[in-house]
Structure 1
Amino acid sequence: MKSIEEVEALEKLIGQLEGLHTEISQLARKAPNDGLNKFKLNLVNKVIANGNRLLQGRYRPFDDFEQFDEDNLPTNSDVTMIIAQYMEQTERFRSDNVTHERSRWWYVVNNAASNLSARMPTTVGGEKK
């Protein structure tokens, strides 16, 4: 990662994706084929737009996916599936940008360990950017 602001944006994205996934998964269990309302869809699209800005190259879940179409409301299960893909790739990006030093995990900023503590990576392997 290039900056502390990018780390902060990543942490915010992770929290938003987890929250959306929890809420929309509950809707999908009750009514998987119902369309998401426009208010929720707007929030989902904002989070996806942030994900698309942050997750570049091999980390972007779908090269050609920008957002859901507001005029053709996606189903709860469609949204849950897409959010799950963004969660997976966000975790892969996070895991590829942490390092273990001084008995702790730290975010890597500008190719060096920062002073921002991180969780242990969950995705092993992959190339570092």
Structure 2
Amino acid sequence: MKSREDVENLEKVIGQLQGAHAEISQLAKKSPNDSLNKFKLNLINKVLERANAVLGDKYRPFPDFGQFDADDVPTTSDVTMVLAQYMEETERYRSDNVKYHGGAWYYVVKGQPSDIRSAQPSKVGRK
């Protein structure tokens, strides 16, 4: 990562993806084939747009997918599946950009451990 702002953007995307996934997963358990309403779809698309910007081409889960088509409204199970893939890739990106240093995990910024603490990576050694 190049800056503290990159770390903050990643952390925000991770939180948004986790929150959206939790909410839509609950809907999918009740009615997996129901369509998502336009309001929720708009919010999901905004999260995906931000995630694509943060992840870049290397970590983006689907090179030909940017967001859901508002005219072809997806089902809750479709959205849950896509969000899960994005969550996996954001974790892989995060894991590739943290380092154990001085007894704790820190984000790597400009090739060096920063002062920004991180949780332990779950995808160690996948770089």
- The question of a shared fold, defined as TM-score above 0.5 by the shorter chain, is answered with yes
Deviations 1:22-41 (A, max 9, x none): 00000000000000000000
Deviations 1:67-87 (A, max 9, x none): 100011000000000000000
User: Which segments of 5 or more consecutive residues in structure 1 lack a partner in the other structure?
Assistant: none
Instruction: Write the distance in 2 (CA, Å) between the matches of 1:40 and 1:5.
Output: 27
The letter of the residue matching 1:114 is: S
Instruction: Write the distance in 2 (CA, Å) between the matches of 1:67 and 1:93.
Output: 20
Instruction: Write the distance in 2 (CA, Å) between the matches of 1:125 and 1:84.
Output: 21
User: Which segments of 5 or more consecutive residues in structure 2 lack a partner in the other structure?
Assistant: none
How far residue 125 of structure 1 moved from its aligned partner, in angstroms, is 1.7
Structure 1: which 4+ aligned runs deviate by more than 3 Å?
none
Instruction: Write the distance in 2 (CA, Å) between the matches of 1:44 and 1:82.
Output: 10
The letter of the residue matching 2:83 is: I
TM-score w.r.t. the length of structure 1 is: 0.97
Indicate whether 1:29 and 2:32 are aligned. Answer: no
TM-score w.r.t. the length of structure 2 is: 0.98
Identity %: 60
Match for residue 81 of structure 1? 81
How far residue 58 of structure 1 moved from its aligned partner, in angstroms, is 2.7
Deviations 1:49-75 (A, max 9, x none): 001101123311000001100011000
Match for residue 122 of structure 2? 122
Count of residues in Structure 1 that have an aligned counterpart in Structure 2: 127
